[in-house]
A and B are shown apart, each in its own frame.
Chain A
Amino acid sequence: MSGQGVGKSVPRKEDDRYLRGRGQFVADIKLPGMKEVAFLRSPLAHARIGDIHIPGKWRDAVFTAADLAGVKPIRAVSSLPGFKPSEQPCLARNKVRQVGEAIAACVADTRAEAEDIAAEIEVDFEELPAVVDMIAARAPDAPLVHEEWGDNVFLESLVDGDVESVKDKAAIRVTRELRTARQCMMPIEGRGVVAAWDPRLDQLIVHSAAQMPHVTRTGLCECLGLDHGQVRVVAPDVGGGFGYKGVLLPEEVCLSWLTMRLGHPLRWIEDRREHLTAGANCREHHYLITAYAEADGRLLAIDAEATVDSGAYSIYPFSACLEAAQIGSILPGPYDLPVYRCRTWSVASNKSPIMPYRGVARTGVCFAMELIIDAIAREAGLEPHEVRLKNLVPPEAMPFDNITGKHFDSGDYPESLRRAVAEIDLPAVRARQQRGEADGRLIGLGLAIYCEQAAHGTSVYAGWGIPMVPGHEQAALRITPDGGLEVRVGVHSHGQGLETTLAQVVNEILGIAIDKVKVVHGDTQLTPYSTGTWGSRCMVMAGGAVATGCRALAGRIMKIGAGLLQVPVAEVALEDGRVRGAAGSVGIDEVAQVWYLRPQDLPDDVDPAGLEITAGYKPERDSGTFSYASHAVVVAVDAELGAVEILDYVVIEDGGKLVNPMIVDGQIQGGAAQGIGTALYEEMPFDAAGQPLASTLADYLIPGATEVPSLRIGHMETLSPYTEFGVKGIGEGGAIAPPAAIANAVNDALRPLGAEVTETPITPRRLLAAIAKAQRDGAQRDGAQRDGAQGGGS
């Protein structure tokens, strides 16, 4: 049994069913009498809806907003001052505000037939000018997404600072305009819903590919006017979430309402085209950022304007402003920054709502900050890591409250960077650059470092005042009569390996073998309320709750065990799943048998609460754990074709205590694959009318096995002082740094050409455009110099 506890790389329990193809996903669920729904979606980005013509024979198979009596729109409000809420209708009413917005639900025996019906419906549209670019959207004469607002801004916010005070003493001043493209999240499984009404239980049962099933239930209850007791949300096996599956979708509300109206089960399985064009959008940031620094690279101030294209609606429960509000508070990154000013805008546009994607806001922030640090390094004539080392929060300052009040719990940021630089072998790369390549490609080295606030709780989210504020996390634990343990948690595991890691926590404390620990999740009926899986919070929060519960159970087990051994409880210990006294021991299985099946043998003063408990947990401080990592990458740039190849990739990561290092490595590798997608491939382009231009995976490129290198991962384990075992949230980190590190590497490679990329993804077209621009600028400069020289000579 030893060798399965916290810190052990045990194989994942859940992989057996996944690898054998025995997982049960929403699309695998078949209910008697179930019919299929296809949505008629808007072909236009912005239009007024006139008449909807439904052929007479389909009158009973097609439902529009006019039918949805009593269904409230989805509202996700933030309490931040000035926030303008939007109402996201479950089926479009009066107006469509994005391509793909659902207008009618069509019901048939098969999806193909439902799509046939959708194809026969005609909608009269009056097309309106579309808001497509977030910067143009802020112009006073821009068309309005929500006319009643008077502008297109969900929220404007300011973190103020006295930048003027440093302007004069700054030897270095660099400004960059930076953009990260709009992306799609692209889990292997898209969204999907199977909804049914159970008349016996008087309950709506919604199977949904969801990562926050309890929040989904709360949202459904609000929209449908049902009691929580009347709604059960089941999230079965889920094929990746990345944030998309935390969002309450109009389709979920629609199917729930429809199944109650029609009396038979219904299902909707999102297809990849819907995924790409109607939902799952994320990441679109724009930065105008200026850094002020001393001649030696020491930062004096950052002054930034950040805009997020939040799309058409404020999504539930995260709202339309979480991304931009977070930018304001986390842009300074792991640096000790004396002065900071940042203004942010969450802008509405005629595109899909922006949704939180693995690394929420942090990926863009890291891109902006790390590119500006490299710009300072070039200006100062220093190696990029030297500038970073001058500005990173040093280990002796930990715990550290940064300029925006973020409380860094622990860590040695400079050491992770030094190790990454050593591991990538900076001198060897510089020597290689000097030598040049036989094939003419340019070599570049790039660095990025970030720290990631994770598992942040009440105090942080209460300030944003969105519909979901996390509190204590709970776990329900029950020793079974044969000495196994059921763990019921409200978070959801869809690739993170929680069925294994939570069992490892149990094993660590109670010594029960992990295959006798059953982790139950994804069912609101069976698990304690939880905000679910997001914000890299599960290991800290659910792990903490499981540990707390196990400790409480251990006391009760020892009490019964001591009684059976006939010694005082003070003289026993729980080791390897057995209660041991001086003269003998009993196993947890025997203790369980006595409690459940032979209570006559229990000691008189036994705790009547027995072997079942719901335990709650919050870390000592709920301001979040701060894991961090340094990424170092070497690329080869083909300056003729604009192609970028990753030659070497090093990650030195500190996630506090690692419960299962193998799983952590998997999370980093998987996250980095997505980060590489952000850096080089993934983009949802739109035309001027707001049409999404990538409607299949032939147009929307995601990196595959041949594009993602094996990372070289090294760990540091600086414990968090505030959490169980000192763990920190690490789930998102891998996706944060790659765009910054790769862009810095590309820019390092392009240095001899005087070119710089400032946008993701770094496509061949963008890269060649940057080179062409540098050539034009260079020619102009030369021309000016020549003119100047001539002028001087005459």
Chain B
Amino acid sequence: MKPARFDYARPASLGEAVALLGTRGTVVKCLAGGQSLGPMLNLRLVQPDLLVDITRIPELTRVEEDGDGVLLGACTTHAAIEDGRVPDVTGGVLPAVAQGIAYRAVRSRGTIGGSLAHADPAADWITCLTALGAEIVVHGPSGRRELAVAEFMRGGFETALEADEILEAVRVPRLGAGARWGYYKVNRKPGEFAHAIGAVLHDPERGVCRAVAGATESRPIVIEDASRLVARSDRAAVVELLREGGLGADAYSLQIHAVALERAIRTLS
């Protein structure tokens, strides 16, 4: 399969890119690493009139660290995070998760912003960053807005982004000194999307004990207060929470999500 015909633009500024996205009467799509968009173009699942390559926009590749955390430009690649080329404020979560995404070739091009904007429920960042309580900076015609990752994703492949908005950056909070985390992904081979993800963050200093079940059909299931589960492993309780989160329909899926969450929790201790 080859893509249908499209035009291509590579703006140098965020304003220009937003203006292009707002072109009336045409379908315009951002192109970041192309690792999800490329296959969709080839399969003609999307047939945009214009592709706006956003990888040369300085705001999208910038990285800023301060006391509260780090701001990662949307076009930061998985590989840059894996390699520690950007500051890590999470005690190793980000590089470890980055390393488990796909293959190196995909990581070299794929971006954190692209992954979030694509909003594949099975992707890693959406679950990982939900557990971390990260925030997303969105840039549109009327300026910036920020929202929590958990609110950003609306459903499978659905986000809060308007057609003329760009995901500009991700703000990752700095974890407290005694923070511990666990991340467990169920897939059958490297490069295969997850069938289930369990992520947990226990950060007593900041009063966070959050567990997230990812790779559902839709948004990750968030257990804001998971302290009971962290204190004592309890399969029945986990299953019950996941059921409440909407995972009951398929016994297999329920089981592997429960196990993933349990194992993520187990790595805390």
Contact = CB atoms under 8 A, between A and B. Distances in A.
Interface of A: 110-112, 115-116, 119, 271, 273, 640-643, 680-681, 695-696, 698, 701, 703-704, 706-707, 763-765, 768-769, 772
A735 B255 CA distance: 33
B147 interface: no
Interface stretch (B59-67, B188-196, B212-220, B222-230): B188-196
Contacts of A115: 1-2, 4, 44
A37 to B, nearest CB: 13
A119 B4 CA distance: 10
A718 B252 CA distance: 48
A701 B192 contact: yes
Max chain A C-beta neighbours (<10 A), residue from B2, B4, B39, B43 = B2
A554 B188 CA distance: 56
Contacts of B4: 112, 115-116, 119
Nearest to A765: B252
Contact of A641 (B1, B5, B259): B259
B255 A704 contact: no
Contact of B193 (A641, A681, A698, A772): A698
Contacts of A119: 4, 44
Nearest to A768: B252
A643 B1 contact: no
Interface in B179-195: 186, 188-193, 195
For B3, B189, B259, which residue has the most chain A Cβ atoms within 10 angstroms?
Answer: B189
Contacts of A116: 4-5
B41 to A, nearest CB: 11
A701 B192 CA distance: 8
Minimum-distance CB pairs A-B, first 6? A112-B2, A640-B259, A765-B252, A111-B2, A707-B189, A115-B2
What band does the interface of chain B fall in when counting residues whose beta carbon is under 8 Å from A?
A: 20 to 34
A681 B188 contact: yes
Contacts of B3: 112
B2 A641 contact: no
A190 to B, nearest CB: 12
Given A273-B43, A696-B39, A768-B255, A643 B2 contact: no
B256 interface: yes
B105 interface: no
Contacts of B2: 110-112, 115
5 contacts: A111-B2, A116-B5, A641-B256, A643-B188, A704-B191
Given A704-B189, A706-B190, 4 more contacts: A115-B1, A273-B43, A768-B252, A768-B255
Contacts of B231: none
A772 B256 contact: no
Considering residues A111, A704, A769, which has the most beta carbons from chain B within 10 angstroms of its beta carbon? A704
B252 A769 contact: yes
Contacts of B188: 643, 680-681, 701, 763-764
A769 B255 CA distance: 11
Nearest to A114: B2
B255 to A, nearest CB: 6
Contacts of A698: 39, 192-193
Contact of B189 (A271, A273, A703, A765): A703
B251 interface: yes
A627 to B, nearest CB: 30
Given A701-B188, A701-B192, A707-B189, A273 B252 contact: no
Contacts of A641: 186, 256, 259
Interface in B1-58: 1-5, 39, 43-44
A764 B1 contact: no
A764 B256 contact: yes
A394 to B, nearest CB: 41
Interface in B214-253: 251-252
A271 B42 CA distance: 11
B172 to A, nearest CB: 28
B257 to A, nearest CB: 11
A514 B238 CA distance: 66
B43 A706 contact: no
A769 B43 CA distance: 34
A167 to B, nearest CB: 39
A273 B251 contact: no
Contacts of B255: 640, 768
A273 B259 contact: no
A704 B1 CA distance: 24
Nearest to B189: A707
A498 to B, nearest CB: 32
Given A119-B44, A704-B189, A271 B256 contact: no
Nearest to B258: A640
A384 to B, nearest CB: 27
A4 B255 CA distance: 57
Given A701-B188, A764-B188, A765-B252, A271 B259 contact: no
B251 A772 contact: yes
Nearest to B2: A112
Contacts of A706: 189-190
A681 B189 CA distance: 10
Nearest to A110: B2
A599 B1 CA distance: 60
Interface in B159-193: 186, 188-193
